[in-house]
Amino acid sequence: MPANKNALIRYKTIDNCLRNRYRRWTLDDLVEACSDALYDMEGIRKGVSVRTVQGDIQMMRSDKLGYNAPIEVYDHKYYRYADSDYSITDMPMSQNDYEVMQEAVDMLRQLQDFDQFSEMSDVVSRLQDKLSITRKNRKPIIHFDNVPDLKGLKLLNPLYNYIAHKQTLRIIYQPFSARKPQEYILCPYLLKEFRNRWFVFGSRADDLVLYNLALDRIESVEPVDVPFRENPDFDSEHFFDDVIGVSKNIKNTPRRIKFWATREQSKYIKTKPIHPSQTLLRENPEDGSCIFQIEVVINFEMYSVFMSYGPGIKILYPPQAVEYMRDKLKEAAKHYET
């Protein structure tokens, strides 16, 4: 018996509550938790009825979804799991779940042949591999980079829904460079991932100054009753066309960056460009070294990429980038002088 999305959110919320043994959960507490979860994740303001949650508890107790959850009532008022180690998230995938997921993967595999869905290929591969591991109990065939338990990932779904519903937010944020958390009243526009780290882009509600906030530095997020404002200068589709990473201001303009690369590094850079704007300007037939050019906004992420190549790359232009790289590499070299 398949469950709809809202029901699954409620089941997971009830599960999270009952796993918390440090609090006594009444039926009203569970209703409130489910209502908050649906508002945070789906923007549903209507709330959840007592009868709905009672039905959810009975469904979780039954074997219709394969949960057979050991939910008990104690002191004639409070709910908990009789088995403190139980969780519905630990249940193996049912035949129905497997078939539904396989149908979804098959549909996505057909769509990935279209240009607008070409970037889904890695997602489809992840899903198919996970399904095969679950179904056939085998070791993974495909391995993707990931950071387990990365702080802030739980905010992805709520932030996605806030952005979709154009909801202004109060965000408490702890920058690395500040001693105390800071408050932002933000109109969120976009979620972006860079090197397994997620960021939310949005404008301050009062003056539309653009910010990007790392999710792992966000301490709390809550909706506020402040009118949502669009930023006419922020185009989420093309804002990152001329940038490496996430650091960019609306007023930043791209610069021509010329760099030299050794024969060995040039082979890699040709097959995996540093940026889509990359062009080959000249190749030395004697030693195989090359000179490339990209057009990007100069930021910290650009420098970090060039530094990752070590002595295999040298920036030639513009002068400010040459000076920055020279100073930082000299500073780094001093750490090895003993």
- pLDDT at residue 3 is higher than 50: yes
Give the start-end residues of each E strand in 47-155: 71-74, 78-81
Please tell me the least confidently modeled range out of 12-16, 85-89, 152-156. 152-156
DSSP state of 304: H
With a pLDDT cut of 70, the percent of the chain lying above it is 84
SS3 (DSSP) at 111: helix
Q: Which two tokens stand for residue 182?
A: 């800071």
Residue 35 CB-half CA count within 13 A = 14
Q: Which two tokens stand for residue 185?
A: 């009243």
pTM over 0.75: no
Asked if 98 contacts 131 with a C-beta cutoff of 8 angstroms, the reply is: yes
| CB contact set of 112 (below 8 Å; sequence gap of 6+) | 118, 120, 121, 124
| CB contact set of 183 (below 8 Å; sequence gap of 6+) | 170, 171, 172, 173
Q: What is the pLDDT of residues 117-138, one digit of tens each?
A: 566 666 667 677 766 666 666 6
Q: Which two tokens stand for residue 252?
A: 């930043």
Q: Rounded to whole angstroms, how far apart are CA atoms 280 and 122?
A: 28
Task: Kindly report the number of other CB atoms within 10 A of residue 223's CB atom.
Answer: 15
Asked if 57 contacts 79 with a C-beta cutoff of 8 angstroms, the reply is: yes
Asked if 246 contacts 212 with a C-beta cutoff of 8 angstroms, the reply is: yes
Q: What is the pLDDT of residues 98-120, one digit of tens each?
A: 666 777 777 666 666 555 556 66
DSSP string, 221-282: EEE-SS-----TT--TTTTTTT-SSS---TT---EEEEEEE-HHHHHHHHHS-SSTT-EEEE
Residue position matching structure tokens 């440090």 = 22
Q: Rounded to whole angstroms, how far apart are CA atoms 115 and 73?
A: 54
Q: What is the pLDDT of residues 177-194, one digit of tens each?
A: 888 999 999 999 999 988
Instruction: Give Cα 219 to chain centroid, integer Å.
Output: 16
Identity at 46, one-letter amino acid code? K
